[in-house]
Structure 1
Amino acid sequence: MSSSSPPKITSKSTLPTSSPRKPWSHHLTLDTLLRVLRNTLLSPFIAWIIVLCLRAQVTPPTDPAWIIAVAYATALTLLFAAKVINHRVAHGIPRTVDSANEVVLVTGGASGLGLLVSQIYAMRGASVAVLDIRDIGSKEQDEVFGEDVRYFKCDVGNRTSLEDVQEKIKEELGTPTIIINCAAARINGRSLLNLPAEAFEKTVRTNLMAAFYLYQIFLPGIIVEAENGGTIVTVSSVLGQLSPAGLADYSASKAGLSALHRTMEAEFRGDERIKMLLVETGQMATPLFDWVRTPSHFFAPVLEPVEVAREIVAAVDSGRGGVLRLPAFATLVNWYAVLPGAVQLVARYLSGIDNAVSSGIQKRDEESEHRYPLRSNKKAE
């Protein structure tokens, strides 16, 4: 990640820590309910099991229960087949992925989501290169990433630094075939009129320009040298489309990042060896948004980074491209865009999305004042 004064990181800061046990109601979310439904009432397999049970009871074909069960199972099967065909037509045949023969490049991989993805691939035997601007001592690298991960301190928002690192990665590990862009800047949480131009520029450089440099530098290697092709993963955010108040720089950069990914997908659509995966998530439990509280835990739960990392790795290993949106409400973002303006305003008011940042800042300041009262008094003076 791009920063003028990179913080010092230690292995202790990246190791998982115990957290207080959460009540059972914390896990009751829209995603949980949909997951249960997909494996029960909305599963074609379960629907045909019901048909077989009715058949075992010698239910006559003219019986309403038999007709409804067969019609329901057939409808679910057709929907499942249509989904598979749609994905195949839109994104082509999946490429073969063998973790042991892949070289994985992860930006922003010294913490949060990037760190988890790096660790997962390291455990699977892949060659992993991690890029980040944080300071990690050579002795701490094995504890943080594992023995088979190579760490390169690099400002991904600086093209020259990326070009220098490219040569080192190629010499030590080979040509990267899986590129996962997780680098992101911390949010400022300021309104447009109070946002310094330097802060806006820094966010755009880290979230958007860094991706532009990354793909321009590393994609040619996949196209020319990788026989089995490669996968490009862009980690963006639904905030690029929802654009909450107080996140002008972050939302603008993420909207541009998603647009950049879709443009690349259009340019490489004819090459079946190149797979593009766009990941647009809601709020994750990472330091980027640790002081922001989601407006509704039921509809928009805070994602655990390990859950997102697991979904990304599974999608990459399947060899497919496409769009991965988490949690469930994120899949409805495109529908939100076509709603009438008045309905959008009502939805924003009910969700509280435009008050989340300001409320988070107020709570953060109150907690800071409670923890450091002397510091707050000095500021007041």
Structure 2
Amino acid sequence: MGKLNNKVALITGGNSGIGLATAELFAGEGAKVAITGRDENTLKDAANQIGNETLAIKADVLNLASLDDAFREVESKIGKIDVLIVNAGIFKGAPLTDFSEALFDEIVDINFKGTFFTVQKALPYLNDGASIVITGSAAAEVGVENASVYSASKAAVRALARNFSADLLSRKIRVNVLSPGHVETPIHGRLGLSPEQVKGLREELASGVPIKRVGTAEEMAKGYLFLASDESSFMLGTEIVVDGGWSQL
């Protein structure tokens, strides 16, 4: 029997990278999986890759009405939610002197505001005793050049997890955070870099990690599984940092 047997799990941003790896692992552990994302083509491909009758829904955290629609569709097609992985987010950076208001708003709206309203909108569709896992970042623990707003947005969602946990005690809903470090995901390819530049960036990132490599999406997925399952039943409002020691040593 899988660790999530017959549980309903929704992973936002489940169409690529860490979200996709997590959805695959959850399906393998017996969960009925739904994923959301902004791109119909990658959603379809991800659903086929995950298999197990995965429900793929186009939704955008910048469009709150689309979140309402997504949660209603999950409930109507596969049931109320036992596990919510709040993973949709972006990474963008710029020098402090060049940071525009538009870029500030984009990062904060998706990473912080999007997280807040994803959880709020989900509440009527969550079973009591559900597990919510929010994607944070080890970057919230250190100073990173050109990443002030991204890091601050992830520090903000870390604070949300504590406060959401207090808000939801009466329903026995646990809220925790999984904070990855440098991970090999498609997000690097969306920075406008060539393949050679992406390779160089990953090598540079790996050099700063104590164990001298970046993590994999599959390694992150194992952390989400732990926090989603009953194995973490005594964990509430806390954080697991999976970063190869980058923020600790």
Give the TM-score range, shorter chain. Answer: 0.7 to 0.9
Structure 2 counterparts to residues 2-13 of structure 1, below 5 A: none
5 Å-filtered alignment, 1:81-92, equals: none
Alpha-carbon distance in structure 2 between the residues aligned to 1:138 and 1:254:
25
Alignment counterpart, residue 226 of structure 2, candidates 314, 320, 331 = 314
Q: Cα deviations across residues 258-293 of structure 1 (Å, max 9, x unaligned)?
A: 11112212333x447212221122111113346432
Task: Give the Cα separation in 2 of the matches to 1:140 and 1:307.
Answer: 22
Q: Is the 8 A contact 1:157 1:213 kept in 2?
A: no
Is the Cα–Cα contact under 8 Å of residues 301 and 327 in structure 1 kept in the other structure? no
**1:190 matched residue in structure 2:** 94
Q: CA separation of 1:98/1:311 partners in 2, compared to 1, >3 Å: closer, same or farther?
A: closer
Shift of 1:311: 2.3
| Alignment check: 8 A CA contact 1:285 1:303 kept | yes
Q: Which of 238, 243, 249 is the equivalent residue of 2:143?
A: 243
2:159, 2:43 → 1: CA distance?
A: 37
**SS of the counterpart of 1:148?**
coil
CA gap of 1:284–1:161, structure 2 versus 1, over 3 A, is same
Correspondences of 1:1-381 after superposition (within 5 Å): 99-136=4-41, 140=45, 142-187=47-92, 189-222=93-126, 226=127, 229-268=129-168, 270-271=169-170, 273-289=172-188, 291=198, 292=201, 293-294=204-205, 295-299=207-211, 301-317=213-229, 318-320=231-233, 321=235, 322-329=238-245, 332=248
Q: Deviations over 1:46-105 (max 9, x none)?
A: xxxxxxxxxxxxxxxxxxxxxxxxxxxxxxxxxxxxxxxxxxxxxxxxxxx962221101
1:284 is aligned with what amino acid? V
Higher strand share goes to which structure? 2
Letter in 2 for 1:246: N
What is the rounded CA distance, in whole Å, between the counterparts of 1:137 and 1:213 in structure 2?
24
Say whether the 8 Å CA contact 1:281–1:330 is kept in structure 2: no
CA distance, structure 2, for counterparts of residue 166 and residue 272 of structure 1: 19
Q: Secondary structure of the residue that 1:324 maps to in structure 2?
A: strand
Distance 1:286 1:167, change over 3 A: same
Which amino acid letter does the alignment assign opposite residue 29 of structure 2?
R
Aligned residue for 2:210, secondary structure, equals: coil
Greater C-alpha Rg: 1
Structure 2: state its 5+ residue gaps.
190-197
- Equivalent pairs counted in the alignment come to 231
Partner of 2:245: helix, strand, or coil? Answer: helix
Amino acid at match of 1:314: F
CA deviation string 1:306-363 (max 9, x = no partner)? 1111122133221422321113526738xxxxxxxxxxxxxxxxxxxxxxxxxxxxxx
1:255 Cα offset (Å): 1.3
- 1:217-247 Cα offsets, whole Å, 9 max, x none, are 112332xxx25x1001011002123131201
AA of the residue aligned to 1:238? A
Equivalent residues of 2:37, 2:43 under 8 A apart: no
* 2:33 alignment partner, SS class: strand
Greater RCO structure (CA 8 Å; 6+ sep): 2
SS at structure 2 position matched to 1:155: coil
1:207 and 1:111 map into 2 onto residues whose CA distance is 17
More helix by share: 1
Contact 1:106 1:130 in 2 (8 A): yes
Structure 1: gaps (5+ residues) = 1-96, 334-381
Other structure's SS at 1:106 match? strand
Identity of aligned residues (%): 25
Q: Counterpart of 1:201 in structure 2: which amino acid?
A: D
